[in-house]
A and B are shown apart, each in its own frame.
Chain A
């Protein structure tokens, strides 16, 4: 029996950004972090639990006609620390980089402490600072440890 020819599950994009090697199950959280979950003019493709060439499974996000900047993609590191970001122009990868966990994360994580001042009607974004065990709320000192699923607080 001949081995079936390997085909691409997702079409390549002409221009835009490909976020690859996302931790399985975090693809939808990634587009939420990027603020493109709630209506966008770009074509967004999300693939979940696809086979990785490195073995195992991964999620994958492609955003056509939009090149993400570093500040945007670094937020992804919260839930997908191994993700890679490729910028595509004319079907060619012109830039490829790893995500880096930012020192300060503003307006992305909701503080899990219900008594934190950020969980009130005050007009203040949450601010979390990188900490040895995870991320610490600037206001109430609550730590979301890396063992927790940070995606639950995004």
Chain B
């Protein structure tokens, strides 16, 4: 790592002021106030060791909208990684080819390791069940477009044990005042005990519910995540649970008029498609917000 190398690895590392600055920069890009030439002549290496649609494409789109170019890893099978090269060596080599690296990797901590050996900035595009800061920032951005980030009640529903997006989001929200987090998860898929302890130490009010109806009238934001059959403690019970956890227009009748529904996508059956046309459905807007938010991140780490 070089002196003054700016990385974005985890929301744990970020101060609230830094988050707010990035979200404000994203808002400027979103409103068309960029020049389109901020990163002229710069190259972003996109190293994705795992499949991805939204993250990979929106980082690429963001780089192009800033005037920069993309260097793709391509399929892992066709690279030196397949020959047994370590991630450390790959990163050292790619540091010489690009002005920044965005990395997605199946192992937790891969982005931090990459940042230690890289000579250019590293952005974490998701590492295993660990951190995914660009997703968290676009989640915050989407909420902030509808309401202030302080004094809100947010419901997190679905697989809260393995879902990295909800872990990062909970951490990020802990930096804002008077945020109450309501969790709605099947038994065995609630937040890990260590995360609960961390959030508790940070002063976050955490309230567990068995069903979303228990807290829905209080919520300002309902953040739904996918339940994965293979992670369900009792696969036989999956189908009945999945139907119980489904968000429908009828269920949303008890929600506040201004409540918004978010989902990191892809969804399966957690949200009824009839919800898509309701004003509260913000999940496609949330996905689109990935571009201005990632423009802000790329500009932050690569600007002179």
Contacts and interface: CB of A to CB of B under 8 A. Distances in A.
Contact of A140 (B87, B88, B130): B130
B86 A117 contact: no
B201 to A, nearest CB: 6
A122 B113 contact: yes
Interface string B3-26: 000000010100000000000000
Interface centre among A115, A117, A137 (most CB of B within 10 A): A117
Contact of A137 (B109, B127, B129, B201): B109
Contacts of A139: 108-109, 112-113
Nearest to B116: A124
Interface in A75-132: 113, 115-118, 120-124, 132
B101 interface: no
Q: Give the interface size bracket for B toward A.
A: 20 to 34
Contacts of B87: 117, 120, 122
B67 interface: no
A120 B10 CA distance: 21
B108 A143 contact: no
Interface string B78-110: 000000001110000000000000000111111
A117 B109 contact: yes
B113 A141 contact: no
Q: Say what secondary structure dominates the interface of chain B.
A: mixed
Interface of B: 10, 12, 86-88, 105-110, 112-113, 116, 127-131, 194, 197, 201
Contacts of A132: 201
Q: Give the interface size bracket for A toward B.
A: 20 to 34
Contacts of B106: 115
A143 B194 contact: yes
A113 to B, nearest CB: 6
Interface of A: 113, 115-118, 120-124, 132-133, 137-143, 145
Given A140-B130, A141-B130, A143-B194, A122 B88 contact: yes
Contacts of B128: 115, 140
B88 A115 contact: no
B108 A116 contact: yes
Contacts of B86: 121-123
B193 to A, nearest CB: 10
Given A115-B107, A117-B107, A141 B12 contact: yes
A120 B197 contact: no
6 closest residue pairs by CB, A with B: A139-B109, A140-B108, A117-B109, A117-B107, A140-B109, A117-B110
A67 B222 CA distance: 61
B113 A115 contact: no
A123 B113 CA distance: 10
